[in-house]
Amino acid sequence: MLKKNYILSPGPTPVPERVLLAGAQPILHHRTPQFEKIFAEVSESIKYLFQTKNDVFIFASSGTGAMEATVANLLSKEDTAIVVVGGKFGERWEEICKAFGVNVVRIAVEWGDVVSPVQIEEAIKQHPEAKVVLTTISETSTGTVSDLEAIAEVVKDTDKILVTDAVSGLLATPLKMDEWNVNVVVAASQKGVMLPPGLAFVAIDEKAWRLVESSDLPKYYFDFKAYKKKAPKQTPYTTSVSMIFQLREAIEMIKEEGIENVWERHRILADAVRAAIKALGLELLSKSPGNIATAIKVPEGIDGLQLVKVLRDKHGAVIAGGQGKLVGKIIRIAHLGYMDKFDMITAISSLEMSLKELGYPIELGKGVRAAEEVFMREGV
Amino acid sequence: MLKKNYILSPGPTPVPERVLLAGAQPILHHRTPQFEKIFAEVSESIKYLFQTKNDVFIFASSGTGAMEATVANLLSKEDTAIVVVGGKFGERWEEICKAFGVNVVRIAVEWGDVVSPVQIEEAIKQHPEAKVVLTTISETSTGTVSDLEAIAEVVKDTDKILVTDAVSGLLATPLKMDEWNVNVVVAASQKGVMLPPGLAFVAIDEKAWRLVESSDLPKYYFDFKAYKKKAPKQTPYTTSVSMIFQLREAIEMIKEEGIENVWERHRILADAVRAAIKALGLELLSKSPGNIATAIKVPEGIDGLQLVKVLRDKHGAVIAGGQGKLVGKIIRIAHLGYMDKFDMITAISSLEMSLKELGYPIELGKGVRAAEEVFMREGV
């Protein structure tokens, strides 16, 4: 039977047809006034996504490129970074620091747990030499969201720079860069921003910029100073013209919906999935589950890799498995980006049928019912 | 009057409708067998563009990113690179080397002239410590093409690695990586490959790979070893899924035309433009003009920036001006990528009318006639 493909993973996420087609417009040359007008508009309107008045640089790269850019532009040889490591993307900060010769003070957090502001405070006290605190607002690998607002509260009166990887978190969970005093926010296109992968973003404030001025780590393609010099109408190297068209369209959609409504939509979708999982007698991995992706422990007796395969190949539901040390142990249902309630119903329904097929004792429809109850209660 | 927008600049170049629409397909998740099949197919078929059997890595970045990647992956701290500098993109190699602490032996070439193989031979003799020779097959800033085959002939029996920036050269001028013994070829999507900007490529052979093994310069996002490990089905970090769909379509088009025919088409288009320029009594900048873009000296008494503006704003013809030290002094008509004979007629016609408007004594239609004569003679 005809089977559609449902992307229910935490990135890449589905791209709205409006945005896909915006990318099919004829190319404009990136150094013409016609394109400069669009790029300047996007450079300004993208600030809304970060809730900031600061510069947001746009790179042709994946999110990892923007993470590397942040380390290479803020730090200098032999500098020290406090790094929160509670999953694969915390590990990535650590790996990048090591690749660039930056000393790492590691705050190890159990995968699925969150760092407490007190831990950050203590690390800062014990390591006054540290220049930055590298965090992950939404640890995609575990579905866990940190209390970045509280973390920012303990960092803001120090001389440390608070950086957060919001690649999967942006727009799916509240993040108010300026109000909260977050100094650097890293993000990418293929998650909450509802674009294909290929663009990455770094929002940076004045406090962080002082580190950029003195940084001596090698960089060229990602050199913030070169981007600053060309802002807001151009980039130093050729930007992804088609994706800028798409970004303009996506920001327009987000503005139409309103960022608070976007956050709230993600909260409701996540609540519905969590209710379904509970109703099905399954267990969440995260001790602080966020609204980006729900990580569910694969139940005893079920092969997690097989479950992902059945979901995908039998039902067309692309639900992510585990990463790193969680391979085979969890699945992750995303409620991220261009998703509505029936995407969640599809996810839960496909999970019910897949578990049943694999012989797990489950009552069909029970999870869906719980999700529907949430939607009815929320009036959506 | 309605005015279409004609991209006649050396990148970004026009993208065929087939390719634009290929990018509007729904997203696939990059870690699924469905997408892996496509990525593996593209990883193989892209080799045809480079005329190689070697690995070609695909990066989400602009061409400059792939240039940085090449320096950071081949070289180590305090290594020496021989760099040919005869334009803005030769300068870029030099700047990247300096940013990464690599010593540069500079072969300075007048902008518009080419390096001779003898100069390369001498530089290698005088600098046996050099590990790489960084060249630019097509110096986009001057419209000049080097004799890379002859350069490779003098490098191949040494222990040096020959690298060429083929960002604008690939497909527009013959380049046979394996047959000529070029060790590393860098390219990007928005030129001869007929894609939007946003992807970059590095083709690398075994001789060059030995340098990668020992390189100690910092890198993470562009780390070749990480790409090698994931090849040919995946990339270490999220690839630009939509652009991979487009790349597949573009390679298909190039195969349908045949690479020799693509090269020959560029040669004929360039011949026609050169004939037109001569007929109009204008002068070429380059002493070795290639088939990528024709750089034309702005005639005495004409403001070069104004000429570019009239071409663009009055006629919709986006023809590039000069870069770096050539700003205002030249214009560059590209015959690059998805272009046919009437694109060249449009370029020449718009130039004729613009020069006339600016008061330059020119016989309307004379350049077009000369171009038509070339097309008639070539039977196209």
ipTM of the complex: 0.94
B223 in the same domain as B295: no
Residues A235 and A283 in one domain: no
Q: Do A278 and A148 fall into the same domain?
A: no
Are A61 and A146 in a shared domain?
yes
Given an 8 Å threshold on Cβ–Cβ distance, is A11 in contact with B238? Answer: yes
pLDDT of residue A374: 98
- Predicted pLDDT at A107: 98
Q: Out of A28, A65, A237, whose CB is closest to B221? A: A65
A25–chain B nearest CA distance, Å: 7
With a pLDDT cut of 90, the percent of chain A lying above it is 100
B-chain residue closest to A100, CA distance: B218
Contact (CB<8Å) B24/A27: no
Regarding whether B369 and B237 lie in a shared domain, the answer is no
CATH number at residue A333: 3.90.1150.10
Per the domain annotation, does B1 fall within a domain? Answer: no
**A60·B63 Cβ contact <8 A:** no
Does residue A105 sit in helix, strand or coil? strand
**Do B208 and B263 share a domain, yes or no?**
no
Report chain B residues whose CB lies below 8 A from the CB of A72: 218
Are residues B238 and A190, on separate chains, in Cβ contact within 8 Å? yes
Q: State the smallest CA–CA distance between residue A241 and chain B in angstroms.
A: 6
Nearest CB to B238 within list A5, A14, A197 = A197
Arithmetic mean of pLDDT, A25-51: 97
Q: Does the distance separating the beta carbons of B64 and A61 come in below 8 Å?
A: no
- In chain A, residues with a C-beta closer than 8 Å to the C-beta of B95 are 220
Which member of A28, A64, A312 has the closest CB to residue B237?
A64
> Taking CB atoms and an 8 Å limit, are A26 and B32 in contact across chains?
no
CB contact under 8 A, A197 and B30: yes
Which tens digits make up the pLDDT trace of A311-348?
999 999 999 999 999 999 999 999 999 999 999 999 99
What is the domain-level CATH number for residue B128?
3.40.640.10
Q: Mark yes or no for CB contact A198/B197 under 8 Å.
A: no
Residues A246 and A269 in one domain: no
pLDDT tens, residue by residue, A268-278: 999 999 999 99
* CB contact (8 A) between residue B217 and residue A218: yes
Whole-number pLDDT of residue A368:
98
B99 and B201 co-located in one domain: yes
Domain identity same for B237 and B286: no
State residue B149's pLDDT score: 98
Residue numbers of chain B with a pLDDT score lower than 50: none
Q: What is the 3-state secondary structure (H, E, C) of chain B?
A: CCCCCEECCCCCCCCCHHHHHHCCCCCCCCCCHHHHHHHHHHHHHCHHHHCCCCEEEEEECCHHHHHHHHHHHHCCCCCEEEEEECCHHHHHHHHHHHHCCCEEEEEECCECECCCHHHHHHHHHHCCCEEEEEEECEECCCCEECCHHHHHHHHCCCCCEEEEECCCCECCECCCHHHHCCCEEEEECCCCCCCCCCEEEEEECHHHHHHHHHCCCCCCCCCHHHHHHHCCCCCCCCCCHHHHHHHHHHHHHHHHHCHHHHHHHHHHHHHHHHHHHHHCCCCECCCCECCCEEEEECCCCCCHHHHHHHHHHHHCEECEECCHHHCCCEEEEECCCCCCHHHHHHHHHHHHHHHHHCCCCCCCCHHHHHHHHHHHHHCC
What is the spatial order of strands in the sheet that B330-334 belongs to?
B293-297, B330-334, B320-321
Question: Strand, coil or helix: what is A37?
Answer: helix
A134 and A103 in contact (C-beta within 8 Å)? no
Residues ≥6 apart with Cβ < 8 Å to A132: A74, A75, A79, A81, A82, A160, A161, A162, A163, A211
Does residue A344 lie within any of the structural domains? yes
Q: Does any domain span residue B52?
A: yes
Pick from A28, A99, A242: which is nearest to B5 by CB? A28
State the pLDDT at residue B57: 98
B99 closest CB neighbour out of A24, A220, A237: A220
* B213 part of a folded domain: yes
Listed residues B257, B273, B294: the one ending a domain: B257
| Residue of chain A minimizing CA distance to B9 | A29
Q: Is residue A1 part of a domain?
A: no
Q: Do A65 and B60 touch (CB under 8 A)?
A: yes
pTM: 0.96
**Residue of B238, B244, B311 to mutate when probing chain A, most A C-beta within 10 A:** B238
Q: For residue B247, list chain A residues with Cβ-Cβ distance below 8 A.
A: none
Q: B219 vs chain A: nearest CA distance in angstroms?
A: 6
Of the three residues B213, B238, B257, the one that is the final residue of a domain is B257
Under an 8 A CB cutoff, do B198 and A9 touch?
A: no
Out of A226, A257, A288, a domain closes at A257
Interface with chain A: mutation pick from B61, B64, B235, highest number of A CBs within 10 Å: B61
Query: Which among A198, A238, A320 has CB closest to B190?
Result: A238
The reply to whether residue A24 touches residue B27, judged by beta carbons under 8 angstroms, is no
Same domain for A143 and A263, yes or no, is no
**What does the buried/exposed string (b/e) look like for A5-41 if buried means 16 or more CB atoms within 10 Å of the residue's CB?**
ebbbbbbbbbbbeebbbbbbeebbbbbbeebbebbee
Inter-chain residue contact A238 with B7, CB threshold 8 Å: no
Please check whether residues B250 and B263 belong to one and the same domain. no
Q: Give A220's contacts in chain B (Cβ within 8 Å).
A: 64, 68, 95-96, 99-100
What is the count of structural domains for chain A?
A: 2
Query: Do the Cβ atoms of A237 and B63 come within 8 Å?
Result: yes
Q: What is the pLDDT of residue A175?
A: 98
Whether residues A64 and B218 touch (CB distance < 8 A) is answered with: no
Confidence category of residue A19, pLDDT binned at 50, 70, 90: very high
Burial bucket for residue A259 (CB in 10 Å: 0-12, 13-18, 19+): middle
The answer to whether A246 touches A22, Cβ cutoff 8 Å, is yes
Which of A62, A220, A240 comes nearest B237 by C-beta?
A62
Which residues from B are below 8 Å from A188, CB to CB?
238
- CB-nearest to B241 from A63, A95, A196 is A196
Do B315 and B348 share a structural domain? yes
Domain enclosing residue A123, as ranges = 17-257
B38 lies in some domain: yes
Q: Do A198 and B196 touch (CB under 8 A)?
A: no
CB contact under 8 A, B242 and A23: yes
Nearest chain A residue to B27 by CA distance is: A14
How high does pLDDT run on average in chain A? Answer: 98
